[in-house]
Amino acid sequence: MRSYSTRIHATAVADAHVSAERTFSGAVIIRISGEIDATNALDVWSSLAPHLETGGPRIFDLTGITFLGVSGAEVLLRAGDRLMEHGTRFATVGSRAVRHLLCAAELDEKLNVMRGVSDAVHKLSHDPTVQVLEQTS
């Protein structure tokens, strides 16, 4: 299993960590933890973007997120749009609070929110009915 990570710091209170690993099934799990807000969203994007370029389904694991501001949600939407442009299937998982926030913001369908990493890996790697969501303007 290949693993790589990038640690980023924006401020003492707005700290985030981005890491990624490829599973044996070929899916890439991108783990984002800490806080994402306006103070570090660009740094998070810079650390996240390289993990969007190679093949295989992507899973955004947000279970380690302690705060997700509007700028953080925008980073996720931008990443999802990039993956859709490349025809890459993806899903987003997170804590109950993060899933609730994404649902309340009506982003759960656009970000293909699922309950857990194992469910997402299984569905994206084995289920041919899981398709890339169509991008809408």
In order of their start, the domains of the chain are 3-126 (3.30.750.24)
- Please tell me the predicted confidence (pLDDT) of residue 53: 84
Phi/psi class of residue 85: alpha, beta or left (left: φ > 0; alpha: ψ in -120 to 50)?
A: alpha
Token representation of residue 21? 């690993």
- Please tell me the predicted confidence (pLDDT) of residue 64: 95
Q: What is the pLDDT of residues 86-118, one digit of tens each?
A: 999 999 999 999 999 999 999 999 999 999 998
Query: pLDDT tens, position by position, for the chain (137 residues)?
Result: 444 444 333 332 358 999 888 888 888 999 999 999 999 999 999 999 999 987 789 999 999 999 999 999 999 999 999 999 999 999 999 999 999 999 999 999 999 999 999 899 888 876 554 444 333 33
What is the Cα–Cα distance from 1 to 89, expressed in whole angstroms? Answer: 20
- Please tell me the predicted confidence (pLDDT) of residue 127: 54
- Please tell me the predicted confidence (pLDDT) of residue 14: 53
- Please tell me the predicted confidence (pLDDT) of residue 81: 96
